[in-house]
Structure 1
Amino acid sequence: MKKRIISMAMSVVVAISALPLFSSCSGGIGGTNINQELVKNLELDQNDISILVKPFEVINIARNELNSKSNITNEDLQNFSNTIYDAFYGSKDNESDASDISNEKHATDILSEKYSNAAENNEAMRTQYNTYETVVLNGQSSITDYHLGEVDVLMGGVIRYLPIMRYKDAVSFLNFHSELLYGKEMISEEEINKVSENNIRTSYKDNLKITLSKILNSSAKAEKICKLTMKVWHNSIYKEHDTETDAFTMENGSYFYDDFNDALKNLYNDTTYNSDISSIKKEQEDITEIVKLMKDVPEEFSSTYDDLKQLYSAYQTFSGLAVNSSGSYNSYSDSVEKATDEVIKYYNNLKLYLD
């Protein structure tokens, strides 16, 4: 799955700090009385403004519908998140051929174009433009994740993200724009938490299945890295040839390094290796957030959270060994073997709840 460039939640914090917070707009969210400094800086006309405010009208209707539900399912969250992104980017699924030909513009198109124009001879506006483009790319990445998730399901698997986390990303994207246009968030943290608690209770079994899948997939990546680390370590010590490790253990492909630390250093500096490590670190963060969300356990699954915490602890140990190898070769190998067994044991315990 295509990875988000950076966490949407973090990007919005950075983005809002990079763009000026305007207080010139009054009242609530919605309507054409938007930030006048923004209008001036970006040279927005009335047609631009009407396009920019339209998403908030559409989203507010969907928001009220979502909040009225006593049981918020994963599908409800997906639909609401899609409504947010479709409102700002436009939904090609719903556009006619005629609208495609006319190159109909949407809110993100307007802001990207206007920021780009304003940034041509203005350093401050260039910074704001770069910030906005990061937000736009994050949103596009979330849309891609959704469509890839649909493919996962069609192939008989499960989606690789928790819908409540995608909902939070979408709301962060929405709140960024409401801060930009109206100087305030459209959806509060309190509302987000209420939706989250409702959804976790309603769709606990499905969310548990997604959580286990994420932990298992990340553990498989960690296992791959640990095995490669041990192989490089072993072959460097015992000077054994292997097509997978020779690039790390041999100098210029001619002879083995005297010190195995030189071989490990080559591995640690490898681009692919570092990319895999970065991926695992991101997954560690995601899984930590997911496990925190899963604490709202319905009565039917009351005993699962303790088991999930045990699996999470085992996963953290295992993935930590992939990210940071230390000790001697023997102690590291023993730790990897023990951590692998722990992850498998606790994963199998939790699988019983899904059968």
Structure 2
Amino acid sequence: MAMIVCPHCGEQVSEKAKKCVHCGAILIPEEKKHCTECGAELEEEMTECPNCGCPVDDTLGQETDEKPQKVEVTGVKVTKKIKVIIGIVVALLVVGGATVFGVTQYQKKRAAEEYAQRVEEYSDNLKLATVTMLTGASDAESSANLIKQVWYNSIYEERDDKTDKYTRPDGYFVSDFNDALGNLYADSSFSSKISSIEDNQDTVNALMKKLKNPPDEYKDAYDAVSDLYDAYISLTNCATDPSGSLQTYSSTFNDADTNTLNAYKAMELYLDD
């Protein structure tokens, strides 16, 4: 609070003083009140207008810059709203988490079922390929043995009830073993057997394609069946397409026959009962 000098007596007084405490001079004139009804001037301490009798308002004539603050009570509503929102979010998170977990479990189960089905199909194809190769190898073995006999008997003019109709169709031996082999392949029964072996090869080739990219637990089995396949092809080709001399053919046939048998024995380790 600042001090001022009274203009009348020169003494210092408060700047808020309405009159000088030293000389009594009026420093701040008092604001006069007026009746709100008739406008008559009112004296201090009057409780009603002497002119019209209107009650005097104590706050009349007082000016203030302060405005009443508007209080808005929203705390309770906001809190409830937030609680509702939080509840919804938590519920969504729980449902979402449960959904994700459920989907993940379903996908794992589906993947396991698909893998199990793949393993089962692979096992079935592995068995089928092995059995099919054995069937073709058996037919090829008997056919190749007959080819070798016809070949040998036509060269060395050996008589045999099984080969005579090919080596000496007119009662005497043919001059060239190729003619004897030609007679053999022209025979309808033998020709049908060769066609069956060729069909068997086609079936085996299709099965081997299915056996590519084996499941982890069948990789060793695939290696074993591949070895069997190589021996099988060599053996069946001896029946469907003989070539070379009698000596080389006999050697090729014997090796293929032995290799097929050994490969099958190795393959048995991977075949279920």
TM-score higher than 0.5: yes
- Higher percent of residues as helix: 1
Conserved 8 A contact 1:209-1:354: yes
Structure 2 CA distance for partners of 1:71 and 1:218, relative to 1, 3 Å? farther
| Distance in 2 of aligned mates of 1:316 and 1:200 | 27
Q: Is 1:214 matched up with 2:132?
A: yes
Corresponding position of 1:87: none
The Cα of 1:206 is off from its aligned counterpart by 3.3
Q: Which residue of 153, 162, 177 maps to 1:235? A: 153
Distance 2:138 2:113 in 1: 34
Aligned to 2:214: 297
Structure 2 counterpart of 1:201, one-letter code: V
1:255 to 172, 176, 180: 172
Residue correspondences, number:
163
Q: TM-score, normalised by structure 2?
A: 0.56
Aligned partners of 2:251, 2:175: CA distance in 1, in Å?
24
Shift of 1:251: 3.2
Distance 1:300 1:234, change over 3 A: same
Distance in structure 2 (CA, Å) of the matches to 1:214 and 1:259: 36
Alignment correspondent of 1:223: 141
Q: Pairwise mapping of residues 1-355 of structure 1 onto structure 2 (< 5 A)?
A: 71=113, 199-252=117-170, 254-354=171-271
Deviations 1:164-202 (A, max 9, x none): xxxxxxxxxxxxxxxxxxxxxxxxxxxxxxxxx975422
Task: State the percentage of identical aligned residues.
Answer: 37
Which residue identity is paired with 2:165? A
Change (3 A) 1:297 1:246: same
Deviations 1:289-332 (CA, angstroms, capped at 9, x unpaired): 10110124222222111121121111111111110011111110
Amino acid at match of 1:304: A
Structure-1 separation of matches of 2:186 and 2:263: 33
1:268 to partner: Cα distance = 1.6
Residue 69 of structure 1: how far off its partner (Å) = 10
Query: What per-residue deviation string (whole Å, max 9, x for no partner) do you get for residues 104-136 of structure 1?
Result: xxxxxxxxxxxxxxxxxxxxxxxxxxxxxxxxx
Q: Which residues of structure 1 form unaligned runs of 5+?
A: 1-67, 73-196
SS in 1 for 2:270: coil
Q: 1:200–1:293: 8 Å Cα contact kept in structure 2?
A: no
TM (norm. structure 1) is: 0.43
In structure 2, relative to structure 1, the CA distance for the partners of 1:304 and 1:225 (3 Å cut) is same
Paired AA for residue 122 in structure 2: Y
Contact 1:200 1:207 survives alignment (8 Å): no
SS at match of 1:251: coil
Shift of 1:223: 0.5
Inter-partner Cα distance in structure 2 for 1:198 and 1:270: 48
Q: Give distance in 1, aligned partners of 2:231 and 2:214.
A: 21
Flag the structure with larger Rg: 2
Aligned-pair CA distance for 1:235? 0.9
Unaligned runs of 5+ in 2: 1-109
How far apart in 2 are the matches of 1:299 and 1:308? 15
Distance 1:294 1:346 in 2: 17
CA contact (8 A) 1:236 1:256 kept: yes
1:253-307 Cα offsets, whole Å, 9 max, x none, are x211122221111112111111111111111111011011012422222211112
Q: Greater RCO between the two (CA within 8 Å, min separation 6)? A: 1
Q: Distance in 2 between matches of 1:265 and 1:207?
A: 37
Which amino acid in 2 is paired with 1:258?
S
